[in-house]
Amino acid sequence: MSASIGFNCVGKDCIAIHPSDMHFLWAQGKTIVIKSVEEPDNSYLKGHEGNICIIRLSKSGNLIASGDTQAAGIQSAVIVWDFKDKDMLYRVRYHIESI
């Protein structure tokens, strides 16, 4: 894919600007889209099973953290990604009980 269309998150938690100001990230369903201001093609981080509801970058910009919403029968997850290599480093699943 060289382009993507769509944004399905409400609020600012699903959008991030890299500290270098050279990349823009946003949630598109279960995928994180990374757009470079220098390259025509986007990068895609796939690994979530629920829709992504938050994206955060470390101060250095080396790490991305993303969290998803709980889908039917699937626990929510937080994933930590390596920005440079676009690899998943960690996945933590969690379940929130109703109070």
**Number of helical H runs and strand E runs in the chain:** 0, 8
End-to-end CA distance of the chain: 42
Q: What is the pLDDT of residues 47-86, one digit of tens each?
A: 998 889 999 999 999 999 999 987 777 788 999 999 999 9
Residue predicted with more confidence, 93 or 46: 46
Mean pLDDT estimate for the chain: 87
Residue 15 clears pLDDT 90, i.e. is over it: yes
Tokens of 39: 């390259």
Q: Given this model, what pLDDT does residue 1 score?
A: 46
Residue 84's DSSP bridge partners are none
Domain ranges of the chain: 12-94
Q: Is 35 exposed, middle or buried (0-12, 13-18, 19+ CB in 10 A)?
A: middle
CA 59 to chain CA centroid, nearest Å? 16
